[in-house]
Amino acid sequence: MSAAKIYLDGYLDIPPDRREDVLSALPKHVELTLAEPGCLKFEVVESTEIAGRLLVSEIFVDQAAFEAHQTRNRASDWFRITAGIERHFEVREG
């Protein structure tokens, strides 16, 4: 039996005064995440309907790959730059 994929979907609402810093850091965050073993999809796009909202969609091959991503993320510049910004994410197995 194969392990279940992990899906994460949600958003971050970026305060206007932090938008430039967050958007500047985003390409590197996406690049590093896509290079992680077990990352099948990692997409972060700006909402066309809500100003400052970043829509996030991720798929990892299994829980271990997702946890490795979380560990790397917590030690990244992205995590530092987005510190204190509330994340509205739903994680599910599929």
- Mean pLDDT for the chain overall: 96
**Rounded mean pLDDT, 65-69:** 97
pTM for the whole structure: 0.92
CB 78 within 8 A of CB 41: no
Which one, of 85, 83, 84, lies nearest residue 14 by Cα?
85
* Domains of the chain, first to last: 6-93 (3.30.70.100)
Average pLDDT score over residue span 36-55:
97
Quick one: pLDDT at residue 3?
A: 86
Q: How sure is the predictor about 2, in pLDDT bands with cuts at 50, 70 and 90?
A: low
The pLDDT assigned to 1 comes to 53
